[in-house]
Amino acid sequence: MLTERRATILGMVVSEYIQTAEPVSSRAIVANHHLDLSTATIRNELARLEDEGYITQPYTSAGRVPSDLGYRTFVEVLMSEDPVRAEEQRTIEHQMHQVGGGLDEWLSLSATILAGAVGNVAVVTRPRARASRLRNAQLVELNRDTALLVAVMDDGRVCQRMLTLRAPATQADLSDRAARLTARLEGVDASTVRALLAELTDADDAATARAIAELIDEERSAEETFLDGLSAVLKQPEFSDVDRMLEAVATLQAYRVRQLLEEAVGAVPGATRVVIGHEHGDDALQEWSVVLARYGDADALGTVAVIGPTRMPYHRTIPRVRYVAGLMSHLLHEVRQA
């Protein structure tokens, strides 16, 4: 457990680093926060925070930067939100109600507004009806080590994917596997398929089921995503190097809707979810954070999200994602009532 003093110092380190993008030293903490503590005492506390995994020390610097655990503790325990004040709400609502073209224009504008408000990439997905479900799966032998998975969804979509087999299989083996998985997974959505993966002891069964879950979600095409703010992200200090900039563009292009929807599983309208760094489980996203919220209702759900470096202003981002998601729920209701 953090002591009160150590928690205060951690909050200062995170806040300073978010603002400056420079490792935070004990001297800077004393100078900027007018603490009645010596730099030696601050150094000792920083060392304890580092030992406990809340901060790290880049080898080129005497200062510290937050770890994923440090950011998580800041978001859940230490942070005070910067609320969306009445004047900002009125401005946003006025902008939204000036759009007369319909839902897509609202979605595009909401991404632009949110990106401008938080200085990171904003993504908004078009609301969709309940998740698709598997109707039937077939496996076709291409050679002893490769098969073609053909999945038919309850909305009529037919999706295909090549699978590399861990163990060679004949067509009879593949047909048995497809029948076995269809019997178990028919009528369930992607999140349910993923929840059942742990029960599948055969590696090829598990790999096929995982591919089925990905195909169920695959209908969320790029055209159903509204994204803005890429230029703002690339101006941040993390991407001053050209190679890092190109890597960031590739990461954000690859991220798109599939990853966003996977992270939104379980989120309910009105609540925000924050995914930080290594919590993604995807190597390409381990220096990124996502703040997301669902909007809509039981009949149709969309997602509002902000994507940026882990050094993002969470105190501003979280309440604005929540607010825009709530506003989109209201606008969606207006569209249906019209």
- Per residue in 47-92, pLDDT (tens digit) is 999 999 999 998 777 799 999 999 999 999 999 999 999 999 999 9
Please answer whether residues 103 and 332 qualify as being in contact, where contact means their C-beta atoms are separated by less than 8 angstroms.
yes
| 212 class by beta-carbon count within 10 Å (0-12 exposed, 13-18 middle, 19+ buried) | buried
| Class for the domain spanning 134-217 | alpha beta
Per-position b or e across 8-46, b if 16+ CB within 10 A of its CB: bbbbbbbbbbbeeeebbbbebbbeeeebeeeeeebbebb
Per the prediction, the chain carries an average pLDDT of 87
Question: Residue 269's CB: how many other CB atoms inside 10 A?
Answer: 16
For 26, 182, 209, the CA distances from 167, given in Å and listed in that order, are 56, 20, 16
- Separation of alpha carbons 196 and 257, rounded Å: 23
Task: Provide the whole-model pTM.
Answer: 0.72
Domain 86-128+222-337 matches domain 134-217 at the CATH topology level: no
Quick one: which of 290, 288, 291 has its CA closest to 251? 288
- Separation of alpha carbons 66 and 71, rounded Å: 6
Position of tokens 């930080």?
Answer: 276
- Separation of alpha carbons 215 and 161, rounded Å: 8
Quick one: which of 252, 251, 266, 253 has its CA closest to 303? 266
Quick one: which of 197, 330, 211 has its CA closest to 269? 330
Annotated domain spans of the chain = 4-78, 86-128+222-337, 134-217
**pLDDT on residue 227:** 86
> What average pLDDT does range 262-276 have in this prediction?
76
As beta bridge partners, residue 146 has: 143, 164
Question: Residue 294's CB: how many other CB atoms inside 10 A?
Answer: 25
Q: 86-128+222-337, what's its fold? A: Beta-Lactamase (3.30.450)
Q: Assign domain 4-78 to its CATH architecture.
A: Orthogonal Bundle (1.10)
- Separation of alpha carbons 279 and 261, rounded Å: 15
pLDDT one-digit tens code per residue, 127-180 = 876 667 898 999 999 988 899 999 988 766 688 999 999 999 999 999 999 999
Question: Residue 4's CB: how many other CB atoms inside 10 A?
Answer: 7
Q: How confident is the model at residue 256 (pLDDT cuts 50, 70, 90)?
A: low
Q: How confident is the model at residue 113 (pLDDT cuts 50, 70, 90)?
A: very high
